[in-house]
Copies of this chain bind each other. A is one copy, B any other.
Amino acid sequence: MRIIIDGMGGDNAPGEIVKGVVEALNIINDEIVIVGNESAIKAELKKCRGKYPKDRLGIKHASDVITNDDAPVRAIRAKKDSSMVIGITMVKNGEGDMFISAGNSGALMAGGLFILGRIQGIDRPAIASIYPILGRSYPSIIVDAGANAECKPNNLLEFGVMGSIYMEKVMGIKNPRVGLVNIGAEESKGSTLTKAAYDLISKSRVNFVGNVEAREVPAGACDVIICDGFVGNVILKLTEGLAWNILKLLKNKFTDGGVAKMGALLLSGKMRELKSEFDYSEYGGAPILGVKGSIVKMHGSSNANAVKNTILKAIPYVNNNVVQIIQNSVEELEEITISE
């Protein structure tokens, strides 16, 4: 397999990207090509002192970069020499099996749509993000994580089917439980969108556990969390913000007063464990499901460890032909939506 990675995307590019690639190369047997400014990438590689298999590492020069300030669609159309456009085009042309980037999410989605194209029969591709479940050995995924702020019922059905395939094939969870985020557990509850989506998803072959209230999401009530991109974004960001605030408050409380301070010292190992449960860099990236090729988004602030983990955990995405399996599921989707 040849993995193409965006050397210029994210807050810590190219340094941490290059470091993460080198770490990954020492674990896997696949090839990696870093796309971006050749001299900058070479300078970073020098710091790694040759401790990597040179025959499996390539560099593809790209003279331009898409930044987070760029308007996604315009950037993909105008910046033909950007690392992102070149990288996705390499996947399109069969020069690589997967593209990974920590850059502009909207542009990555637009690049998937315009360069690779939608899988025929999928109305709206979606981003599937990891949602960590405290105290459980594997995370859930949330689809859509923010690509589609407004959705139709058939989109939520697509998210459920694609997410279920990804969870089974890539995360290794057999018959994953698919839940619809809603403001009540009963079938009759919710908005026009969720009521109609409930009806569609329950006709599909996914293991649908029905409506899931947001209260139940952190406890792992379902493995594939289905919602529109607005709600998905709110869930992900609120979780991040709240966890951070609780840990900060704990730290303040625990270092306030002599006895508590002593207690905190005794507990410091446990606190580190808790923090690592929230550490997104351990979990890998977020695939863009529904486009004709494998694209994986990394967190914008990814460090070398996150880069390495994203690469390692993305390999089954290609090896298990997830894109092809989604393509094969389209017929079922059409039967459900046409019969409506």
Chain A residues proximal to chain B, CB less than 8 Å: 134-135, 146, 149-150, 181, 183, 190-192, 213-219, 229-231, 233-243, 245-246, 248-250, 252-254, 256, 259-260, 262-267, 269-270, 273-274, 277
Contact = CB atoms under 8 A, between A and B. Distances in A.
A234 B135 contact: no
Contacts of A135: 245, 248-249, 252
Contacts of A263: 262-267, 270
Contacts of A238: 214-215, 217-218, 235, 238-239, 242
Contacts of A236: 214
A215 B269 CA distance: 27
Contacts of A235: 214, 234, 238
Given A254-B270, A259-B266, A267-B267, A181 B215 contact: no
Per DSSP, are chain A's interface residues mostly helix, strand or loop, or mixed? helix
A229 B267 contact: no
Contacts of A230: 183, 190-191, 231
A217 B240 CA distance: 11
B239 A242 contact: yes
B264 A183 contact: no
Contacts of A237: 213-215
Given A181-B234, A234-B235, A238-B242, 13 more contacts: A134-B246, A146-B183, A149-B191, A150-B191, A183-B233, A190-B230, A215-B241, A219-B245, A254-B267, A256-B270, A260-B267, A263-B265, A267-B267
A136 to B, nearest CB: 10
Contacts of A191: 149-150, 230
B260 A240 contact: no
